[in-house]
Structure 1
Amino acid sequence: MTTVTAPVESLDTEGRGWLGIVYAAVWLAFLEAPAATAVQLLPSPRGFIGLVLLAAFAAAYLATFLFTRAVRRAGGRIPWQRAVTGVTVLAVIAAALCVAVGQDGTATFVFLAVAIVISFEWRWAMVLVAVVAVANEVLPHLVSGWTRQASLTLAIALAAFAMSGVLRVIDRNLKLLEAHRTNTELVVENERSRFARDLHDILGHSLTVIALKAELAGKLFDADPERARAEVADLERLSRDALADVRRAVEGYRELTLPGELARARTALAAADIDAELPNSTDEVESDLRELFAWTVREGVTNVLKHSGARRCEVVLGASRAEVRDDGPGPTSPGGSGSGLRGLEERAHAVGATVVTRRLEPGWSLAVVRA
């Protein structure tokens, strides 16, 4: 009697196409014993029936393998009805093969055990595999001429155990791949959010100033041509600066300085005829807060220009506090200034600071504070 070893298929998780099917088909070589017996029985009907049943068993086994592999790669579960049907078909063919060629047909029991493991949940699979192993032990006592095959019973148990381990590894690999895919999507989404936030912060300020200067230049063309030409020259300079800022954002750089933002704020507020009270020095600000406070000044002054209707604006800087105040009615929505404020809150959170907005009497205040 030929000893049958455990047919542990390579259920690859990377989708190597037909290579996985070839790996599964290779193990069918261990059906050599029933095949040889069927050939010896030729040209009797039992020999022909045995070969047909052997081919049917191999086809059904490969079909079960392909179906379960496709379902697992898709992250799904094998439907109960489909599992029962597939295993039942294999069991019936295996039983018929044993009738046709004798005890050598029990070589199919190992493959039946593997099909059970890949088709059912673990607890049910172990029960059914035990039934197959017990059947292999009991049948020699019931069928005349059959002998006990302890090695086959061991092969059934080892095949089931090995395939169970392979499936656990595959499931974990699939989960790792899914986690990696999710992390990749999150990284891409975070980068999109970062870029959208930076683009809003950069262009929101620059385009607001450009619009104000364009409006002013249009009013001055007849009344004061010289000043109108100066405003147009400023428009050209501001447009080039905005283009440079966008290029830096695309390249992933954040070349932002607090003194530079204060200078921009002074120019923008003057163009809007808003009285500005700005600090002349930024030396007091802590080093790790300078970039955050630069964004605070940019966001606060942009909102003053866009939403407040203010006539006066004040920027106050401290070692761990930056505040932009104005005497206008402030933003109309309770949440403040939309995506710009959310972006500022994210930056503040990254360095342990807090964004605080409040109404004044009269006016509005935007502050970033680190305790």
Structure 2
Amino acid sequence: MTAMSPTTGPAPAGPASVHDQGNGIRPTHLAGTHTFGPPVPKPSPFFQHGFGWLVGSVWLFYLGQPLGTILNHPGGFAKWFSLGALVAFGLSYVLVFLWTRRMHIEERQPRLRDGLVWLGVTLVLGLAMLPGAGGDWMVGLVYIAASAVMVLPPRAAVVAVAVVAAQPLLLPVLVPEWKHENGLFFSIVLAAFAMFGVTRMIDHNMRLTAANREIARLAVAEERARAARDLHDILGHSLTVITIKAELAGRLLPDAPDRAKTEVNDMERLAREALADIRRTVGAYREVCLEEELASARSALSAAGIEAQVPRSADVPEPRGTLFSWAVREGVTNVVRHSGATRCVITVRPDAVEIADNGSGPVAAAGAGGSGLRGLRERAEACGGQLSVGRAPGSGFVLRVSVPA
């Protein structure tokens, strides 16, 4: 059996492949699967931990203007108090960015109350720069607008940005010493748009990550369903025939030991074939042949004491031939197990296969039944065909799979 790697092709399965040091193959684990392939590189520690600090800090260059004004201010309490407030203001903005980034990574939205608290703290720190920076403190409004986009819901953020953007136009009217800042108005608006784009990019990346996780989960579920369907189709039929032949050999053993020996040999052959089928199925290389299934059906029905009318050969092109093979296997298994029939007729046409008996087996709807019928329905739908089960007038149970020619 081989395990396929998407980058290296077939890789030998088993313990040796797990510890193969020569070609770099390592098991890459996904919940519910055992996949072999080259080791997935771990994310750089910088991008895990330092990227947020870099992206948040790169915008602090806007604070150069109030920083220069504070440094040129005459020494004293006002200068150092304002300088401390500026450092705390910049640190607060970076922490807001990191906090909202973590919230997005954890697929959570900041609460409105928490967002307002962050904005309030940032605004207070910005106002604390007033003694040393004077009117240049308004540069901090750029960061307050960007923070509003990060921590508030969209509608509330629009209102907050509009209010903040109006301040460079209104405050100089109230405080004549402060310069009228038209450029600052546009900087605030552009910063808000830029931060909106950053938050949307983070959201989209998180959604893409969640979608990839869901795709992986669905792929695992689909593979499990396929494996369960294939194993049911293989083991259900083979074990049913082995059970029937074992019962027949037990009855024949006292009076016809030679024929009982033949049945035991058939059981051994069937067991070996079933084991080989399982190995091929696990390796995803299993194929079924319609003529072989017809011959196996004839043998199983005969061993069960059911009169069989089965064609010797059938010329059906693929992929219908494979689908009809599974239909014959499932239909005959149900006849032997459940029908209580004395006669079974298998009809094969280029566009359909039908298994009918004269028994009193259960009638199931096409979408119902056990896992065998459900798996056969899925196979038929995958080929653009249709599964029909029920009773025909004057007959017993009928299973039909048809595919448009």
How many angstroms does 1:42 deviate by? 6.3
Question: C-alpha distance in 2, partners of 1:286/1:33?
Answer: 79
Q: Is the 8 A contact 2:295 2:312 kept in 1?
A: no
Q: Is the 8 A contact 1:358 1:365 kept in 2?
A: yes
The amino acid of 2:402's aligned partner reads V
Question: C-alpha distance in 2, partners of 1:99/1:308?
Answer: 95
Q: Is the 8 A contact 1:46 1:101 kept in 2?
A: no
Structure 2 unpaired stretches of 5+:
1-45
Give the secondary-structure state (helix, strand or coil) at the position aligned to 1:223: coil
Question: C-alpha distance in 1, partners of 2:176/2:402?
Answer: 91
> Which residue of the partner structure matches residue 335 of structure 2?
304
TM-score (norm 1): 0.89
Question: C-alpha distance in 2, partners of 1:176/1:15?
Answer: 18
> Which residue of the partner structure matches residue 105 of structure 1?
137
Indicate how the Cα distance of structure 1 residues 105 and 368 shifts in structure 2: closer, same or farther if over 3 A, else same.
same
Matches within 5 A, 1:256-295: 256-283=288-315, 285-295=316-326
Give the secondary-structure state (helix, strand or coil) at the position aligned to 1:325: strand
1:322 aligns with 2:353: yes
> Which residue of the partner structure matches residue 73 of structure 1?
105
The amino acid of 1:245's aligned partner reads D
Indicate how the Cα distance of structure 1 residues 73 and 15 shifts in structure 2: closer, same or farther if over 3 A, else same.
farther
> Which residue of the partner structure matches residue 402 of structure 2?
369
> Which residue of the partner structure matches residue 119 of structure 1?
151
Indicate how the Cα distance of structure 1 residues 133 and 362 shifts in structure 2: closer, same or farther if over 3 A, else same.
closer
| Residue from 351, 354, 357 that aligns with 2:386 | 354
Give the secondary-structure state (helix, strand or coil) at the position aligned to 1:174: helix
The amino acid of 1:148's aligned partner reads H
> Which residue of the partner structure matches residue 42 of structure 2?
none
Q: How many residues align?
A: 357
Give the secondary-structure state (helix, strand or coil) at the position aligned to 2:129: helix
Structure (1 or 2) with the greater helix fraction: 1
1:44 aligns with 2:71: no
Q: Is the 8 A contact 1:309 1:328 kept in 2?
A: yes
The amino acid of 2:205's aligned partner reads N
How many angstroms does 1:368 deviate by? 1.3
How many angstroms does 1:79 deviate by? 1.1
Q: Is the 8 A contact 1:198 1:249 kept in 2?
A: yes
> Which residue of the partner structure matches residue 238 of structure 1?
270
| Residue from 86, 96, 118 that aligns with 1:86 | 118
Per-residue CA deviations over 1:248-286 (Å, capped at 9, x if unaligned) read: 211223411110100110111111111111112313x45
Matches within 5 A, 1:162-241: 162-241=194-273
TM-score (norm 2): 0.82
Q: Is the 8 A contact 2:242 2:270 kept in 1?
A: yes
Kindly report the root-mean-square deviation, in angstroms, between the aligned alpha carbons of the 2 structures.
Answer: 2.2
Q: Is the 8 A contact 1:97 1:105 kept in 2?
A: yes
Question: C-alpha distance in 2, partners of 1:173/1:31?
Answer: 30
How many angstroms does 1:31 deviate by? 1.8
How many angstroms does 1:340 deviate by? 0.7
Per-residue CA deviations over 1:152-172 (Å, capped at 9, x if unaligned) read: 222111111111122223323
Q: Is the 8 A contact 2:357 2:396 kept in 1?
A: yes
1:30 aligns with 2:76: no
259-268 vs 233-242, greater mean Cα deviation: 233-242
The amino acid of 1:331's aligned partner reads P
Per-residue CA deviations over 1:164-203 (Å, capped at 9, x if unaligned) read: 1222233233333333332232222222211211111111
The amino acid of 1:289's aligned partner reads R
Give the secondary-structure state (helix, strand or coil) at the position aligned to 1:316: strand
Q: Is the 8 A contact 1:303 1:337 kept in 2?
A: no
How many angstroms does 1:287 deviate by? 4.5
Q: Is the 8 A contact 1:310 1:327 kept in 2?
A: yes
Structure 1 unpaired stretches of 5+:
1-13
| Residue from 247, 250, 266 that aligns with 2:282 | 250
How many angstroms does 1:337 deviate by? 4.0
> Which residue of the partner structure matches residue 174 of structure 2?
142
Give the number of the structure with larger relative contact order, counting CA–CA contacts within 8 Å between residues 6 or more apart.
1
Give the secondary-structure state (helix, strand or coil) at the position aligned to 1:147: coil
How many angstroms does 1:64 deviate by? 1.4
Question: C-alpha distance in 2, partners of 1:124/1:51?
Answer: 31
How many angstroms does 1:212 deviate by? 1.9
